[in-house]
Amino acid sequence: MTKDWYPIIDYSKCVECLTCVNFCPHGVFEAKDGKPSVKNREACVDMCKGCEKICPEKAITHASK
Ligand code: SF4
Ligand code: SF4
């Protein structure tokens, strides 16, 4: 089953502060070569917007169907 709620990073806005990586308590993000990436979208909690709110650049949005 494909998860339909997960974060999407807009890399044109991201400043690689890694706040999102350190913030999410569910291990959805990982840091890869100093950049955040979404490694485990299945672990994202439906309707959570924690990382979206905490990103200083508003670079995170969420997919939803
Ligand atoms: S919190 Fe926002 S700006 Fe910082 S690494 Fe994550 S997506 Fe990029
Ligand atoms: S929405 Fe919540 S659970 Fe999903 S990645 Fe962001 S902080 Fe983690």
How close is the Cα of 32 to the center of ligand 2, in Å? 18
pLDDT at residue 65 in the model = 58
CB atoms within 10 A of CB 17: 13
59 CB-near residues (< 8 Å, 6+ apart): 9, 10, 11, 13, 14, 15
20, 23, 24, 30: which to mutate for ligand 2, most atoms within 8 A of CB? Answer: 24
Q: pLDDT tens digit string along 26-61?
A: 999 999 999 999 999 999 999 999 999 999 999 999
Whether residue 2 is predicted with pLDDT greater than 90 in this model: the reply is no
pTM (predicted TM-score): 0.93
Pairing outcome for strands 6-9 and 60-63: antiparallel
Backbone angles phi, psi at 32, to 5 degrees: -130, 120
Whether residue 21 is predicted with pLDDT greater than 80 in this model: the reply is yes
pLDDT at residue 1 in the model = 60
Which domains are delineated in the chain?
Answer: 6-57 (3.30.70.20)
| C-alpha distance across the termini of the chain, in Å | 14
How close is the Cα of 4 to the center of ligand 1, in Å? 21
